[in-house]
A and B are shown apart, each in its own frame.
Chain A
Amino acid sequence: MPNPMHQFEIKRLIDFEFLGLDASFTNASLFMVLAIASISFMTIWGMRGRALVPTRMQSLAELSYEFVANMVRDNVGTDGQKYFPIVFSLFMFVLFCNMLGMLPYSFTVTSHIIVTFALAALVFIGVTLIGFATHGFGFFKFFVPSGVPVALLPLLVVIEVISYLTRPVSLSVRLFANMMAGHTMLKVFGAFVVGLGFIGGWAPLAFMVAFTGLEILVAFLQAYVFAILTCIYLNDALHMHH
C-alpha cells in the first residue's frame, strides 16, 4: 500500500536562498499563489461589468462578499465592519486553499500546521493588540469573570488565561487536523480501491465518492469556522462580553 502521507510532501520547484535561509519556491508556495490568483480573478475580473443584474462570476463575488459581511455584522456588530477586509481575506484564502486541495494531484496548503499556525497567530496577535488598543489596561478585566465568588477567582483567572492562550493552537490544529485527516482517509480508501481490484474495488469506490462530497463540505465548513471564530475573538476584544 502506498504511504498516504506522501501527498503532503513539500517539493522544491525553484531553489532559492535568502540570507542563508531556505526560501525556495515549493509546491506549497505554488498553490498559495494559485489560491490568491483565483481569488483575485474571481473578485476583480468578476466585478468588471458592475452590472445591475449580475453575471454568474459577478454574483459569485457578490455572494461571497455578502456572506462574510453578514457574518461580521452578526457576530461583531457594526463597529466591527472596519475589520471586514481581514476576515474576508482569511476566509477566502482558507476556502480556496482547501478547495484547491480537493482537486486530484493537487497539494493542500492548509494541511501543514505551519501555514495554519501562522494564520492563527496572526489572528491571535492582532485581536490581542486590538483589545489593548480599545480598552487599554482594562482589557485585563477580560480574564476576570463577573459574578463569581472571590475565593474562586485565583483559579478561574488562571483557567481564563490558559484558555485564551490556547486559542491560536486550537484554531490552527482544528483546520490542519481536519484537512490532513480527510486527505489521508481519501488516500487510504483510494489504496483499497486499487488493492481490491476490478472485482471488489467498487464498494470502496462508492465510499470514496461519498467521502469526497463530505470532504468538500468540510473544506467549506472549516473555512467558515475559521472566519467565524476570528469574528468571535474580535467581538471579545471589542466588547468584552463576560
Chain B
Amino acid sequence: MDPAAAKLIGAGLASIALVGAGIGIGTIFGNYLQGALRNPSAAPGQFANLLLGFALAEATGLFGLVIALIILFVF
C-alpha cells in the first residue's frame, strides 16, 4: 500500500477513539439527569463532579485525536 494512503487511513482509524468519548459523555450527562430528576435538591452539589467527569471523558477521546495528528504531521 502507498505509505501516504496508509498514513491517512491510520489517522482516520485513530479518530475512532471519539466514539468512546461520545458514549462516556452521554452516560455522564444521562445519569446526572436521571439522578437530578429523582432527587433535584441534591443535584447542584454534584454539578462540579459532573463537569469534572465530562472533561475527563472528553479528554480520553482527544488523546485519540492527538495520536491522529501525530500520525499525520510527525511521521
Contacts and interface: CB of A to CB of B under 8 A. Distances in A.
Nearest to B66: A177
B55 A174 contact: yes
A181 B65 contact: yes
Interface stretch (B3-11, B35-43, B56-64): B56-64
B21 to A, nearest CB: 11
A178 B59 contact: yes
A32 B56 CA distance: 26
Contacts of B62: 173-174, 177-178, 181
Interface string B11-47: 0000000000000000000000000000000000000
A225 B52 contact: yes
A173 B73 CA distance: 17
Nearest to A176: B66
Given A221-B51, A224-B51, A228-B52, A178 B58 contact: yes
A225 B60 CA distance: 14
B4 to A, nearest CB: 17
Contact of A177 (B48, B52, B56, B65): B65
B69 to A, nearest CB: 8
Contacts of A228: 48, 52
Contacts of B58: 178
Nearest to B49: A228
A174 to B, nearest CB: 4
Contacts of A222: 55
A173 B58 CA distance: 12
A40 interface: no
A228 B48 CA distance: 10
A170 interface: yes
A108 B48 CA distance: 25
A172 to B, nearest CB: 11
A5 interface: yes
Interface string A213-242: 000000001101100100000000000000
Given A5-B73, A173-B66, A177-B66, A221 B59 contact: no
B63 A225 contact: no
A223 to B, nearest CB: 10
18 contacts: A170-B59, A173-B59, A173-B62, A174-B56, A174-B59, A174-B62, A177-B62, A177-B65, A178-B55, A178-B58, A178-B59, A178-B62, A181-B62, A221-B51, A224-B51, A225-B51, A225-B52, A225-B56
Interface of B: 48, 51-52, 54-56, 58-59, 62-63, 65-66, 69, 73
Interface of A: 5, 170, 173-174, 176-178, 180-181, 221-222, 224-225, 228
Given A177-B59, A178-B62, 10 more contacts: A170-B59, A173-B59, A174-B55, A174-B56, A177-B63, A180-B69, A181-B62, A221-B55, A225-B52, A225-B56
